[in-house]
Amino acid sequence: MSGRRPAPWSVLLAIACVAFAGCGGDDEKESASTPAPAAKPPPQAPQPKQDIAEFARLLETAITSPGCPGLKTKVNKPDVGGVALTCPADDARVAKALAGYETTGTETYGSGAVIDYIAAEAPEGGTWELSLGGDGTWVLDSGSITAEKTVGTVLESRVGYERALDGFLDAVREGNCDGFVRYALTTRRDKAEACARELPFYDGLATALQADPDAAPFFIGGNARYAFYGLETSKPEPAYRTATVVRTTAEGAEEPYLVARTKQGPKP
């Protein structure tokens, strides 16, 4: 979706033996020698099965070559969502916008990634944002004219990104329209329409969050514009999602950080 406006926590449970009156010495020795259960390892983002630089080459070839080779078979993935690009040869407006297209950088952040580029529509820079699909290959989620490079930049603080993500997840879990519109990047300006048309996209996530109330997002990387988080849920069945939070540049935006989307990836 594109714009209406533009940690992990793990707890180690310690086992203690409380000695009541009459508790024998053998019991104390056995308790002392019984190892505590191992702490559950923190969740990890799945490893991509496709190099992001390889995907960027496929994308550039598809955009810049006659007939757009590979666009429909290797770049566009309508069965798993994301952006479906039009071949410039088939649309004069697209051809004009993407004239002179050139990749300027790529970077991976766990199950999220970015591709920076320049083109006629974005002479100072544009960025494609991606996440892993269920088969472990990259899915093109959105493209924005950023007028800057994002690759190599530093995310200095996660506070705003995580406040937006927490607010978004609470809103989705509770079906809260006001919270959803506040923290989600929607395509419709009208609040009622945005909730009616776009909040249902997250029905699967809402069901998972309600069934697994302890599920919590964990940071997997980012840059000065995008932050990526993983989210594992165990019910109704194990699932992994990539959540993308973007820093907006809209003047007077109520929230400077918005959740662009969540995308189901490889199962944990």
Q: What pLDDT, on a 0 to 100 scale, did the predictor assign at position 37?
A: 57
SS3 assignment, position 259: strand
- For all residues of the chain together, what is the average pLDDT? 87
Please report the pLDDT score of residue 18 as a whole number. Answer: 29
Question: pLDDT-derived band of residue 1, with 50, 70 and 90 as boundaries?
Answer: very low
* 72 and 266 Cβ atoms separated by less than 8 Å: no
Q: Is the peptide bond before 236 cis (omega within 30 degrees of 0)?
A: yes
H/E segment holding residue 119:
strand 112-119
* pLDDT reported for residue 96: 97
**Band (19; pLDDT cuts 50, 70, 90):** very low
Domains defined for the chain, CATH in brackets: 159-264 (3.10.450)
- Percent of the chain at pLDDT > 90 equals 77
Mean pLDDT of 4-18: 32
Three-state SS for 120? coil
Q: Can you point out the beta strands (E) in 181-264? A: 218-222, 226-233, 239-247, 257-264
Of the pLDDT bands very low, low, confident and very high (cuts 50, 70, 90), residue 254 is confident
Amino acid at 212: D
Looking only at the bridges linking them, the beta strands covering 239-247 and 112-119 are: unpaired
Q: How do residues 44-56 score in pLDDT, each as one tens digit?
A: 899 999 999 999 9
How many angstroms separate the CA atoms of 183 and 5, rounded? 10
Of 16-20, 37-41, 77-81, 157-161, give the lowest mean pLDDT range.
Answer: 16-20
Instruction: Give, in order, the Cα–Cα distances in Å from 9 to each of 12, 236, 252.
Output: 10, 21, 34
Can you say whether residue 147 is alpha, beta or left, with left for phi > 0 and alpha for psi between -120 and 50 degrees? Answer: left
Task: Compute the average pLDDT of residues 9-20.
Answer: 27
CA proximity to 43, closest of 12, 8, 89: 8
Q: Which of 3-12, 62-71, 157-166, 197-206 has the lowest mean pLDDT?
A: 3-12
| 27 pLDDT more than 60 | no
- Decide: helix, strand or coil at residue 217: coil
261: nearest Cα among 126, 141, 106? 141
Query: How many C-beta atoms surround the C-beta of residue 191 within 10 A?
Result: 15
Virtual torsion, Cα 105, 134, 61, 248, nearest 10 deg = -40
The model's confidence at residue 10, banded by pLDDT at 50, 70 and 90, is very low
- State mean pLDDT over 171-193: 95
CB 211 within 8 A of CB 233: yes
Tell me: the pLDDT tens digits for 214-248? 999 999 999 999 999 999 999 999 999 999 999 98
Question: What's the confidence (pLDDT) of residue 9?
Answer: 30
Q: How confident is the model at residue 12 (pLDDT cuts 50, 70, 90)?
A: very low
Coil, helix or strand for 122? strand
Contact (Cβ atoms closer than 8 angstroms) between residue 224 and residue 107 = no
Judged against a pLDDT cut of 90, whether residue 159 lies above it is answered with: yes
Q: Band of the pLDDT at 13, cuts 50, 70, 90? A: very low
Q: Do 69 and 125 meet the contact criterion of CB atoms below 8 Å apart?
A: no
* pLDDT reading at 63 higher than 50: yes
Residue whose token pair is 């980012």: 222
Q: What is the dihedral of CA 175, 181, 185, 186, to 10 degrees?
A: 90
